[in-house]
Structure 1
Amino acid sequence: MTTICGLPESAVTEYMKPVRQQDSNSSEIATSFSRAVWGTLTEAGDRVAGLLVSAVGAHDSIDLLIHRRTAHEIARIVQSRIEIQQEFPELVEDIAEGLQRWIPRLSSRDALNTVVHAGHLGAFLLTPEDEDWPRGLDDLAAHAPLGLWARGKRDVVSKFSRSLGVVGARASTGYGEHVTMETVSTIAQQDIAIVSGAAYGIDGMAHRSALAVGGTTMAFLAGGVDRFYPSGHDALLGRIMESGLVLAESPCGYSPTKWRFLLRNRLIAASTQATVVMEAGWRSGSLNTANHAATLNRPLGVVPGPVTSASSAGCHRLLREYDAICVTTAAEMCELLPEHTPLADQLDDVE
């Protein structure tokens, strides 16, 4: 009997079809299901898992775990497949620590259950093998997501190629929300997708502003796509799904945690062509997203605020300490994007 990750191929194929509509052969099914299995074994951004999958492939790397290959054996295989700067003993140690994390969670049947649940929700699985995979995520290298779960319009995935990350403080002020509403509503009308994190404050205003003008918006969640968070944005996330996408690196059933929020931020920065911080306090989580954007050499725009406002202290910090660009209009924000189309003068000003 042919198996995929230790399960009958027929069973895996039956339940993967609803979440992998593009797959048409057993090899594609095996690869995508193996990535779903990896999603249940690792926390987001697991460097060692990313390294192993890039060297061996998603399906073959799961087989190595199922057959209980040693850390030394796996390290030898990795070393023979890709160039790696890491010394061999250190690589063996990292893989050994990885095995301690992964093996206790290894259950292809549990992974299949998450797939079944996702299928019932109408969710689908995106993988790096897909033509419309957001290629910017590949810049995260070994820290790139092994797959993404999504709910909404599949054809919207291609719009990551022309997208802007918009983030800011949860405890936003009227000033920050006004600037966000005026600029995002203009930008979204230029067929530029708005990507954010669905949090209260600036994130929520960015999504709502894009929706108000019939634009495209996408939200990355810190938990599974079945765990809308914050709960007060259930209706907003439902609206986003109707014309855009809600995405998550974690499988269905996974709850949002502080650590997952921080890891989620790298996806907003990497998947988009540029990031704008609308308003942020000195310790705002938006600075974490900005840091990822800067590390990835993505253009980083920052909206200044009153020097007396603690809610803009983080923005001013970015202007001082990072290679950030001061932006005050929709036109200036669009200039951050490669091959941008200048906006008409009358659309430039924030009123």
Structure 2
Amino acid sequence: MSAAHLRSVPPVGEPVSEAERLARVVLSCGVEPGDGTTSSLVAQLGAERALERSLSGAEGEPGEMLAARLAEVDPARQLDQAERCGIRFLVPGDPEWPPGLDQLDGAITDEGFGGTPPGLWVKGPMPLTELATSVAVVGSRAASAYGVEMTRAVCAHLALAGVPVVSGGALGIDFEAHDASLSADGVTAAVLACGVDRVYPANNRRLLHHLASEFAVVSEQPPGSAPTRPRFLARNRLIAAITSGTVVVEAALRSGALNTAGWAESLHRHVMCVPGPVTSYTSQGVNNFLREGRGTVVTHGAEVLELVGATGEHLVDPPRGERRARDDLTPTEAKVVEWVPVSEPALVESIARLSGLHLRTTEGALRRLRSKRFVELSDEGWRLAPDV
């Protein structure tokens, strides 16, 4: 992050000037989300001077249309209307501002897409400071039964561990992520590609209303804004930046969830992928992502916690197969029992020769194995006990 950028953003807790806040309202309302040029100007000049520069587009110049849109915005009126609807506007320097968003200025694409938003519109009582340790869980809108099961299991585990879940409020995996967190009495927030006063998709009306009344819905789009495809892509970078890591559960080859994972990579966040059946269309993208050596395989919420937690926290024991009785044998006993025949008994001399051990060592191991019911001794010699 440049020194100029550091100078343009007030430290957290230091009051943001009214002029700065109003300038950011204008930029938020007049500039399309993900406009890296505007973001770079704000980082270098501050919001007030960046707005002045953007308003100076003369007739016939490339910035003419943008200047016209910005000139139409009444920031004080926008803030007043938002406040009446229970919507607040956050800017860098506010105590609630998610600090991870500031890193977006270092991840603007070569095409000039990305950057830190001028501000965030938030509806809901939950302060965004609660998302400091959050995890994003995203995936296909056309979720399969497998995807639903894995999403709900992971999110319930995160909720029980006190880790907030962030998603996009969409159908499919997003809905299951929010709903599973709520069912486990967890904390969850939705980042939208439209205004926080709008319900999209309509099928998630009850969920989004609940989040807006009890938790938080977030957008860089001003109230009243409609969702568009570029706005969904811009929204994805916010999900990646606000959270400490992104979990992808089901994603086709052309999936917005993989776009979110790409932003998380650019921001050096943890990218975690739940692999899916190789025959599943909705898992082709996430499986290919892993095949390219990107992301980390996760199959359980505990593995997500291990990755995003502090060093030494939430350590997961390596998975092992079912424990067997032979696992408790000493190395000598385990070596000897391998050479005890199943049917025809063998003398101790034969077993010692085959195992490469001394006769007395073999004899002692066999007697211990008999006490543990692994072998039997008859007049003809030693043999394995039944069912061993």
Q: Normalized against structure 2, the TM-score is what?
A: 0.71
Q: Which residue of 2 aligns with 1:328?
A: 299
What is the deviation of 1:104? 1.1
Q: Which residue of 1 aligns with 2:136?
A: 165
Amino acid at match of 2:91: T
Equivalent pair of 1:210/1:217 in contact (CA under 8 Å): yes
Structure 1 CA distance for aligned equivalents of residues 34 and 278 of structure 2: 36
What is the deviation of 1:24? 10
Q: Which residue of 2 aligns with 1:41?
A: 30
What is the deviation of 1:174? 0.7
Is 1:197 paired with 2:156? no
Is 1:277 paired with 2:248? yes
Cα RMSD of the aligned pairs, angstroms, is 2.3
Structure 1 CA distance for aligned equivalents of residues 174 and 277 of structure 2: 20
Classify the secondary structure of the residue corresponding to 1:256: coil
Equivalent pair of 1:152/1:245 in contact (CA under 8 Å): yes
Structure 1 CA distance for aligned equivalents of residues 316 and 181 of structure 2: 19
Is 1:148 paired with 2:112? no
Classify the secondary structure of the residue corresponding to 1:240: helix
Q: Which residue of 2 aligns with 1:29?
A: 18
Q: Which residue of 2 aligns with 1:83?
A: none
Q: In structure 1, which of residues 103, 112, 124 is the aligned counterpart of residue 76 of structure 2? A: 112
Higher helix share: 1
What is the deviation of 1:316? 0.4
What is the deviation of 1:305? 1.3
Structure 2 CA distance for aligned equivalents of residues 264 and 282 of structure 1: 19
Amino acid at match of 2:31: T
Q: For 1:208-254, what per-residue CA distance to the aligned partner results, in whole angstroms no more than 9, with x for missing partners?
A: 01111111101010011111210111110111123321000011111
Q: Which residue of 1 aligns with 2:49?
A: 60
What is the deviation of 1:118? 1.1
Structure 2 CA distance for aligned equivalents of residues 154 and 213 of structure 1: 17
Bigger mean CA deviation after superposition, 54-63 or 316-325: 54-63
Q: Which residue of 2 aligns with 1:302?
A: 273
Structure 1 residues 308 and 65, CA, compared in 2 at 3 Å: closer, same or farther? closer
Structure 1 residues 109 and 325, CA, compared in 2 at 3 Å: closer, same or farther? closer
Equivalent pair of 1:216/1:243 in contact (CA under 8 Å): no
Q: Which runs of 5+ in 2 are unaligned?
A: 1-11, 109-114, 318-388
Q: Which residue of 2 aligns with 1:127?
A: 91
Equivalent pair of 1:42/1:102 in contact (CA under 8 Å): yes
Q: How many residues align?
A: 296
Q: For 1:277-319, what per-residue CA distance to the aligned partner results, in whole angstroms no more than 9, with x for missing partners?
A: 0111222221111111112221110001111111211110110
What is the deviation of 1:324? 0.8
Classify the secondary structure of the residue corresponding to 1:113: helix
Equivalent pair of 1:284/1:314 in contact (CA under 8 Å): yes
Structure 1 residues 180 and 65, CA, compared in 2 at 3 Å: closer, same or farther? closer
Equivalent pair of 1:42/1:101 in contact (CA under 8 Å): no
Structure 2 CA distance for aligned equivalents of residues 108 and 28 of structure 1: 22
Amino acid at match of 1:133: W
What is the deviation of 1:154? 4.2
Q: For 1:148-174, what per-residue CA distance to the aligned partner results, in whole angstroms no more than 9, with x for missing partners?
A: 00001242x112210101000000001
Amino acid at match of 1:277: V
Classify the secondary structure of the residue corresponding to 1:146: coil
Equivalent pair of 2:121/2:196 in contact (CA under 8 Å): yes
Q: Which residue of 2 aligns with 1:348?
A: none
> Identity across aligned pairs (percent)?
39
Structure 1 CA distance for aligned equivalents of residues 191 and 122 of structure 2: 9
Amino acid at match of 1:269: A
Classify the secondary structure of the residue corresponding to 1:301: strand
Structure 1 CA distance for aligned equivalents of residues 160 and 75 of structure 2: 40
Q: Normalized against structure 1, the TM-score is what?
A: 0.79
Structure 1 CA distance for aligned equivalents of residues 27 and 309 of structure 2: 34
Equivalent pair of 2:196/2:218 in contact (CA under 8 Å): yes
Q: Which structure has the greater CA radius of gyration?
A: 2
> Which has the higher relative contact order, 1 or 2, with Cα contacts under 8 A spaced 6 or more apart?
1
Q: Which residue of 2 aligns with 1:9?
A: none
Structure 2 CA distance for aligned equivalents of residues 325 and 184 of structure 1: 17
Classify the secondary structure of the residue corresponding to 2:17: helix
Structure 1 residues 287 and 24, CA, compared in 2 at 3 Å: closer, same or farther? closer
Is 1:252 paired with 2:223? yes
The correspondence of residues 211-250 of structure 1 with structure 2, limited to 5 A, is: 211-250=182-221
Q: Which residue of 2 aligns with 1:86?
A: none
